Structure 1
Amino acid sequence: MSFRLRFGSLGSRLLPGYGTLVLAITLVGIGVSITRPYLSLFGANVVHMSAAELGVFMCVNGVGGILASTWLGRLSDLRVAKKFIMLVSAACSALGYGVFLVLHSYLPLLIVSTVLLGLGSSVFPQLFAYARETASRVPGVDATFATSSLRSFFSLAWVIGPLLGSYLLQVCHFSGLFAATALLFAAVFAIVVWRIERRPPAGIQGSRPIKSFAMLRDGHIVTACLSYVAVYTASSMNGLYMPLFVTKELHGSDRVVGSVVALSAGLEIPIILGLGVLSVRIGKRPLLLFGSVCGAMYYVGAWLAQKPWEMLALQLLCATFIAISVSIGMSYMQDFMPGTPGAATALYSNTNNLGQMLGSLLGGAIAQWAGYRDVYLLCTALAAISWLLLLRGKRFKAEETKALHAALSSPDAATQQRQRAVNGD
């Protein structure tokens, strides 16, 4: 009881409804992480996809997620309440994973899963957009620390999820795996129904939605997006091909692979929790630059590794790189568009989706032609590119960030800011 009271007190200092957001984000994380590592096995063993068909399947699903989350992100800022977007997205996720239980034919599964999981991809960014919007409405709340701490629970889910998924796969096979995932997103739907506040959209009622990718007219936003795409392309290649590198090149066991994934996710949690405080003192862009350096060092270390234990030792660098990218990166993007948190978070999420698509294609080509070890050379180059791009990026001063937050709390100033966003200025 005392722990519950202390946690509730901490949550109230961070955000109203913090505990609800923690629960929803954790369930989303577990739902994704118990299934995603085994989708390739399902495709190969149940649907009998070839390697090329699997690549096309993942790529088309990624495109669906980008298009749907961009569209829903704009609507959530200007026309439709975020609660409704989250409800639709959670329901589509539950139905989308349920489809894997009944459709085992390639083309129908490709079409239906792309539509449903594409629409379902918005639940994660919309939860964080809702959190950012909540923070802007409450004086004295540190939005960066709040969103960073929330992101740590998503990392915690990735410690739990793969182990739970492995158990379900052994006991209940793929039917149990996808049924559990569908139930988890149904639980998220229920949480949104009963616990998430319905608010009018942040934008101007009756105004036109922001034109597709109009925010990319800002050179600083373009630079940040390109940097994130480079980061997530490298991260995707590492996630996809690290297990094969460890088992085939370093002759490690499957248990070592699981230990590497769990250790990295576990290390991310304390790092993410500390980043909110550091970002106030140091700034977000310097931390992002440091993260790219850690990423480059990790990839070089992996390229040089000769023993499985070396990959375990390198996970501190990997965890630091990922923690900075996913927590500070999201908040940095939201700073560019304080009047449209939904569009900003969707744009950030789409750099992740695009990076995963490019990572699967580029990593597969490099692994096929040059070997798993040389995948890490390309990852190193991408980390260096992200660092160079961030050097050209915008550094938000503390005074500027406070002014943006103050503008949001002023109806007249907020209206002007949102009108500029509508006009694409």
Structure 2
Amino acid sequence: MEDNINYRSKRIWGMNAVVFVTGLVSLLTDLSSEMIVPVLPLFLTTVLHVQVTSIGLLEGIAESTASILKLFSGWFSDKLGKRKPLMVFGYGLSNLIKPLFALSTSFSQVLAIRFIDRFGKGMRGAPRDALIADSTSKEERGKAFGFHRAMDTLGAAIGPFVAFFVLSSFHENYRLIFWISSIPGIIAVLLLIFFLKEKKKTNIEEEIFGKQTRPKISFKGLDRRFILFTFIATLFAIGNSSDAFLILRAQDVGMNSALIPLAYFAFNIVYTLFSIPAGILSDRLGRRPIIVTGYLIFALIYLGFGLITKSLWVWGLFILYGLYYATTEGVQKAYIADLVPEGKRGTAIGTFNALTGIAALPASLLAGFLWETFGPASTFAVSSGFAALSAILMVLLRV
């Protein structure tokens, strides 16, 4: 049931001020991050000569760390009744550590930096999503999460474009990209500190938590549909390996290294353009049909990545990949917020992210193993199968 809350607040360009500022911070942070993401696998394989299985291990550990920490940060933000302090810590940690990739000379150093970066992401993610949910009504929540994903992804689109420019102009100087990434990251943290205004809340700790004194994965008192959806999303996550494998596949079929960030740019532009429409559509038609559509799109994309033999196809598949993200990322968060009351949203989002995040480690390890043992096609075929099964379960179980 929707809590009796006054959602009227200051607006910036017609958007809730909290949502707008949070979106701007995410834009700058993702600009910084996505300068690194499409080139890091290339840096690892061509400069540090790391094996694909090791990249799977790195990405699995990194993403699992981020998601599991969202369990703690979501729970803790509920307990505090405040979201902003954890957001400042998380964004600050990630944006200060990422430039150190430029100094790394070994796989273990890259692993440590990536771990700390994802630690920061884990600390900020659930409180941020809970703050957006707290600040909006159910009728505009899909639009709000869609706006946030659009801003986040606009930054993620600009980042690879900058990386493409640097790689083209400075003879594939990966380390220079890592240094430049610090600029938008620092600006993001300053905006968060000085411009995000969080309303003070009444302490509702005893009402919500009772004697609970530590975070834990728990479905107690939560809607049956939330429980089923979480387990289906976790099944989907087992087949959803790191995007690093898409980048390596692009290189595997002959795409020039400097062009890969540009393909990633195209993916993020599509993601940006369709995030708000997908969120609005979910407000009108319901979240479930949009999420099922996203899962089916993913299944087709990964099947395609397994079958392609020429780099030209990579462009079309990355564009479709943007549609998958637009129809799932923000819509899933809005769906969770619909199913869970305000006082438990941080914990629920944390539980959801913890379970799907735990799956990220076996997902990337499995992808790396299949790649090395049976070839790239097997990696993408298995992922496609998991996505199709998840979509079918969403329909059959009426989640």
TM over 0.5: yes
* Equivalent residue in structure 1 for 2:299, among 292, 296, 302: 296
Higher helix share: 1
Q: Which amino acid aligns with 1:38?
A: V
Which one of 213, 216, 220 corresponds to residue 217 of structure 2? 213
1-side partners of 2:381 and 2:299: how far apart? Answer: 9
Contact 1:92 1:116 in 2 (8 A): yes
Matching residue of 1:163: 161
2:244 to 240, 257, 262: 240
Residue 283 of structure 1 corresponds to 286
Inter-CA distance 393–118: structure 2 relative to 1 (3 Å threshold) = farther
Once the two structures are superposed, the pairs formed by residues 399-414 of structure 1 within 5 Å of their partners are: none
Out of 338, 341, 345, the position equivalent to 1:338 is 341
Residue 226, structure 1, aligned to residue 231, structure 2: yes
1:387 counterpart (379, 391, 394): 391
The one-letter code matched in structure 1 to 2:80 is R
Alpha-carbon offset, residue 161 of structure 1: 0.8
Answer whether contact 2:35 2:159 (CA < 8 A) is retained: yes
- CA 1:174–1:82: 2 relative to 1, 3 Å: same
Deviation of residue 74 (structure 1)? 0.7
CA drift of 1:262 comes to 2.7
- Whether the 8 Å contact between 2:81 and 2:204 is mirrored in structure 1 is no
Q: CA deviation at 1:309?
A: 3.4
Question: How far apart are the structure 2 equivalents of 1:307 and 1:143?
Answer: 41
Identify if the C-alpha distance between structure 1 residues 231 and 156 changes in structure 2 by more than 3 Å, giving closer, same or farther. Answer: farther
Q: Secondary structure at the match of 2:341?
A: coil
Cα distance in 2 for partners of 1:313, 1:108 equals: 35
1:170-201, Cα deviation, whole Å (9 max, x unpaired): 64945433333344332222112111124446
Aligned equivalent of 1:154, options 152, 155, 160: 152
> SS of the residue aligned with 1:215?
coil
Does the CA contact (< 8 Å) of 2:159 and 2:265 recur in 1?
A: no
| Distance of 2:248 and 2:175 partners within structure 1 | 26
How much does 1:306 deviate?
Answer: 4.6
Residue 3 of structure 2: aligned partner: none
- In the alignment, structure 1 segments of 5+ residues that lack a partner are 1-8, 396-425
Deviation at 1:76? Answer: 0.7
TM-superposed deviation, 1:41: 4.1
More divergent stretch after superposition (40-49 vs 145-154): 40-49
Aligned to 1:122, the other structure's residue is in SS state: helix
CA contact (8 A) 2:296 2:387 kept: yes
Instruction: Name the SS of the counterpart of 1:214 in structure 2.
Output: coil
> Structure 1 residues 56 and 375 mapped into 2: Cα distance closer, same or farther (>3 Å)?
closer
Deviation, structure 1 residue 294: 2.2
Residues 93 and 120 of structure 1 are in contact (CA less than 8 Å); yes or no, is this contact kept in structure 2?
Answer: yes
TM normalised by structure 2 equals: 0.81
Q: Does 1:318 align with 2:288?
A: no
Aligned equivalents of 2:257 and 2:104: distance in 1? 30
- Of 260, 269, 274, the residue aligned with 2:272 is 269
Aligned to 2:129: 128
DSSP-derived class of the 2:204 partner = coil
- 1:5-51 deviation digits (Å, cap 9, x = unpaired): xxxx9845431344322311101211221112233344456666555
Could you tell me which residue of structure 1 aligns to residue 95 of structure 2?
Answer: 94
Alignment of 1:373 with 2:377, yes or no, is yes
Q: Cα distance 1:209–1:201, how it changes in 2: closer, same or farther (>3 A)?
A: farther
Change (3 A) 1:271 1:101: closer
Larger RCO: Structure 1 or Structure 2 (Cα < 8 Å, ≥ 6 residues apart)? 2
Report the Cα distance in structure 2 between the residues aligned to 1:91 and 1:383, rounded to whole angstroms.
34
Identity %: 16
Q: Are the structure 2 counterparts of residues 297 and 44 from structure 1 closer, same or farther at C-alpha, using a change threshold of 3 Å?
A: closer
Distance 1:269 1:112, change over 3 A: closer
SS of aligned partner of 1:37 = coil
The 1:293/1:40 distance shift into structure 2, 3 A limit, reads closer
Q: Which amino acid aligns with 1:337?
A: V
**Contact kept? 2:160, 2:262, Cα under 8 Å:** no
Q: Which residue is 1:38 aligned to?
A: 39
The amino acid across from 1:285 in the alignment is R
Distance 1:214 1:348, change over 3 A: closer
Map 1:198-209 onto structure 2 (within 5 A). 198-200=198-200, 204-205=204-205, 207=209, 208=212
Larger deviation, residues 141-150 vs 334-343: 334-343
User: Given the two structures, how large is their TM-score scaled by the length of structure 1?
Assistant: 0.77
1:346-361 aligned within 5 A: 346-350=350-354, 353-361=357-365
**Unpaired stretches in structure 2, ≥5 consecutive residues:** 1-9
